Amino acid sequence: MTIPALELNDGHSIPQLGYGVFKVPADETERAVSEALEIGYRHIDTAAIYGNEEGVGAAIAASGIARDELFITTKLWNDRHHDEQPRAAIGESLEKLGLDAVDLYLVHWPTPAKDDYVHAFAKLIELREAGLTRSIGVSNFLVPHLERVVAETGVTPAVNQIELHPAYQQRDVVDWATEHGIRIESWGPLGQGKYDLFGTPAIAEAAAAHGVTPAQAVLRWHLQRGFIVFPKSVRAERLRENLDVFGFELTDAEVASIDALDPLDGSGRVGAHPDDVN
């Protein structure tokens, strides 16, 4: 199976579907990532705050897969934005992952109350120039945060990883990112099970029409919208199911029906608001 790759604004490319290890327990991570790699995943998304980078690294080392076939993302946590902390932080992450460099390093949250996210991103530019990460980006940034980063550093992030699912599509952020060549990565792509996503007629009907599960229909919607997506599971059968989304295509009408599930008033958010995480 060939997972499509999307080109980033820095010339590198990224697999459009990967495996996310948010909330995967540290003692389960090596097994889960090993299974994901065996099934065919090549894009792994972790973060320092997840506490499971060692497990990801152990699975990579045991896999025997060539480094250039893998795409590994990790993230800078909120208390490491200042001074030279980003360099120390990526050093710690690389040691845990057993890597010389990651493919993508993200500022995890803008932490606007501290007003240090521009400095943090400026330090990521230095880390990229030092060869410690191939691409750099941000996560959970809203339009004002993106505008400041680009204006004050002169560098456009390669990606913005944001909460995005049918009930919460962040269209203003997506539109700004698209206009400026920033790829959108969807976290919580299935709504984290916090609302009855699969019971909505638009998704149930699309799934039935293509003989797939509701989860597969939603993941297919993300892919057709051009988003990068990495659903999380610790069950091998679900890992296989989440990867099996390239043999069908939603119709324009089905995509439009799922698009219409966003109430547009922000009420569909299931995670924290970026202005509140500091």
The answer to whether 50 is a known catalytic residue is yes
What pLDDT does 172 receive?
Answer: 98
pLDDT single digits (tens) 98-143: 999 999 999 999 999 999 999 999 999 999 999 999 999 999 999 9
Q: How far apart are CA 210 and CA 212, in angstroms?
A: 6
Neighbours of 252 (CB within 10 A): 9
Region 5-191+226-232: CATH code: 3.20.20.100
Residue tagged active-site, from 19, 41, 50, 105: 50
pLDDT, tens digit, 9 for 90 and up, residues 175-222: 999 999 999 999 999 998 889 999 999 999 999 999 999 999 999 999
CA distances from 67 to 5, 62, 63, 210 (A): 16, 12, 10, 36
Segments in the chain forming alpha helices (H): 26-39, 53-63, 85-97, 117-129, 143-153, 171-179, 201-210, 214-224, 236-243, 252-259
What pLDDT is attached to residue 233?
86
What local confidence, expressed as pLDDT, does residue 193 receive?
86
What are the boundaries of each domain within the chain?
5-191+226-232
- Per residue in 209-254, pLDDT (tens digit) is 999 999 999 999 999 999 999 988 889 899 999 999 999 999 999 9
Residue 26 has a CB neighbour count (10 Å cut-off) of 13
Count of all residues that appear for the chain in the document = 278
| Mean of all residue pLDDT scores within the chain | 97
Interatomic CA distance for residues 122 and 173, integer angstroms = 21
Higher pLDDT, 2 or 140: 140
* Environment class of 179 (CB within 10 Å of its CB; exposed 0-12, middle 13-18, buried 19+): exposed
Give pLDDT tens digits for 10-27.
999 999 999 999 989 999
Query: Which of helix, strand or coil describes residue 274?
Result: helix
Residue 1 has pLDDT above 80, yes or no: no
